[in-house]
């Protein structure tokens, strides 16, 4: 078929291509099976995969793309959309913005998800959990944020609790990866500890929503079952600090477990008292480590 003939078929409702494209304009929310069935009733025999093939040739394979194509039609076809179609378009616009945001965030040391949609859900849910809390956030809230139907979230996460745990798992991986990167060239044990503390405070105070939720999860009180599910990933992060503290030259009288727990408590407490505009997160980390280092030095002197 020549290009001219193909172009005529696109606009001819009696042709198969033209009929499929006409349905894309008149009923953009119809799925490929529905379109194939409706076309069969008016004499066009085509399979659902055939409908999708034609859609893909014209970049119309999703409901969102079909709705967006109406904006380009003469006469302002978008104004004739139903409220339900307008809502689908709005959700698609939100999803697209989140996808771009997620793609930009993937320049970080650790990618938190291989699936675009899963990544968007995690980030949107983390933002809502940070604002509204775990109990104050519903699947409907999360679905609205990512431009999906509430039931679609269950395809990725069976429950809100599973989603909450997944956010922490992704967050701990991010923070551990950043800490590993920050300390890999440091030889001095105290400098290594300070670098890890800097990463922790930066994530708590200036990180993305996943970072903040993860750090809050280190000391926030959740229901016992949820706390138990978070324990494994939390221990993995604490093990990194255990290794850093074990490498310090501390007096034998210093309980290293208490030292580590007290340090993590001090780091987490910055979420409560820190005010922007004074010391930078890196300076706060340095000062805190100096306090712990000074106490250790005094303990060593007292022993002498």
Concatenate the DSSP letters of all residues of 136-186 into one string: T--HHHHHHHHT--HHHHTTT-SSHHHHHHHHHHHHHHHHHHHHHHHHTT-
Same domain membership, residue 75 and residue 28: yes
Mean pLDDT (whole number) for 248-256: 90
Q: Would you state the torsion angle of the CA atoms of residues 60, 65, 67, 68, taken in this order, to the nearest 10 degrees?
A: -120
DSSP H/E element including 298: helix 281-303
Residue 95 has pLDDT above 70, yes or no: no
CATH of the domain at 174: 1.10.357.10
33-42, 73-82, 150-159: segment of lowest average pLDDT = 73-82
Q: Contact 12/57 with Cβ under 8 angstroms? A: no
- Domain endpoint, select from 81, 113, 142: 81
Same domain membership, residue 27 and residue 161: no
Q: How high is the pLDDT of residue 118?
A: 86
Domain contains 260: yes
List the Cα angle 41/43/48 in 5-degree steps: 70
Q: How high is the pLDDT of residue 194?
A: 94
For residue 156, which of 173, 145, 143, 144 has the smallest C-alpha distance? Answer: 143
DSSP string, 75-120: TTGGGG--HHHHHHHHHHHHHHHHHHHHHHHTTSSS---SSHHHHH
Same domain membership, residue 237 and residue 105: yes
Largest CA-CA distance found in the chain, in angstroms, rounded: 98
Same domain membership, residue 44 and residue 168: no
Integer Cα distance of 252 and 68 in angstroms:
68
Same domain membership, residue 73 and residue 113: no
Task: Give how many domains the chain has, as a whole number.
Answer: 2
Domain contains 210: yes
Domain contains 90: no
Same domain membership, residue 222 and residue 175: yes
Residue 4 has pLDDT above 50, yes or no: no
Binned at pLDDT 50, 70 and 90, residue 221 comes out as low
Domain contains 222: yes
Same domain membership, residue 50 and residue 172: no
> Residue 236: how many CA atoms within 13 Å on its side-chain side?
16
At 57-87, the pLDDT tens digits run 888 888 878 888 887 766 555 557 777 777 7
Same domain membership, residue 134 and residue 24: no
Binned at pLDDT 50, 70 and 90, residue 6 comes out as very low
Mean pLDDT (whole number) for 76-103: 66
For residue 23, which of 54, 4, 49 has the smallest C-alpha distance? Answer: 54
* Domain range enclosing 216: 95-303
Integer Cα distance of 205 and 72 in angstroms:
43
Region at 115 (left for phi over 0; alpha for psi -120 to 50; beta for the rest): beta
Domain contains 25: yes
Same domain membership, residue 231 and residue 119: yes
For residue 31, which of 49, 44, 10 has the smallest C-alpha distance? Answer: 49
> Residue 206: how many CA atoms within 13 Å on its side-chain side?
10
Integer Cα distance of 258 and 295 in angstroms:
13
Domain contains 200: yes
Domain contains 88: no
Same domain membership, residue 101 and residue 32: no
Domain contains 86: no
Same domain membership, residue 128 and residue 230: yes
Torsion sign over Cα 3, 7, 8, 12: positive
Same domain membership, residue 225 and residue 127: yes
- Domain endpoint, select from 46, 81, 116: 81
For residue 161, which of 87, 226, 82 has the smallest C-alpha distance? Answer: 226
Q: How high is the pLDDT of residue 31?
A: 84
- Domain endpoint, select from 81, 111, 127: 81
Whether the model pTM is above 0.75: no
């Amino acid at each position: 078929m020549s290009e001219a003939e193909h172009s005529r078929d696109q606009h001819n409702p009696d042709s198969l291509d033209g009929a499929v494209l006409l349905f894309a304009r008149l009923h953009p929310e119809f799925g490929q099976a529905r379109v194939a069935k409706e076309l069969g009733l008016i004499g066009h025999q085509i399979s659902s995969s055939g409908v999708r093939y034609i859609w893909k040739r014209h970049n119309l394979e999703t409901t969102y793309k079909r709705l967006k194509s109406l904006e380009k039609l003469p006469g302002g076809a978008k104004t004739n959309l139903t409220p339900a179609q307008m809502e689908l378009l709005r959700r698609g616009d939100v999803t697209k913005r989140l996808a771009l945001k997620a793609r930009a965030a993937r320049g970080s040391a650790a990618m938190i998800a291989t699936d675009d949609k899963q990544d968007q859900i995690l980030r949107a849910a983390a933002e809502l959990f940070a604002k509204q809390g775990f109990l104050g956030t519903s699947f409907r809230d999360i679905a609205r944020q990512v431009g999906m139907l509430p039931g679609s979230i269950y395809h990725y996460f069976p429950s809100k609790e599973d989603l909450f745990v997944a956010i922490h798992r992704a967050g701990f991986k991010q923070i551990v990866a950043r800490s590993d990167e920050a300390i890999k060239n440091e030889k001095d044990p105290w400098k290594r500890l300070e670098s890890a503390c800097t990463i922790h405070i930066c994530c708590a105070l200036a990180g993305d929503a996943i970072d903040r939720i993860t750090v809050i999860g280190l000391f926030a009180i959740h229901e016992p079952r949820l706390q138990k599910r978070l324990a494994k990933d939390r221990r993995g992060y604490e093990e990194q600090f255990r290794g850093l503290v074990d490498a310090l030259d501390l007096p034998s009288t210093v309980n290293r477990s208490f030292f580590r727990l007290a340090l993590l408590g001090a780091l987490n407490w910055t979420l409560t008292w820190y005010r922007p505009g004074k010391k930078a997160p890196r300076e706060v980390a340095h000062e805190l480590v100096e306090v712990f280092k000074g106490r250790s030095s005094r303990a060593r002197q007292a022993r002498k």
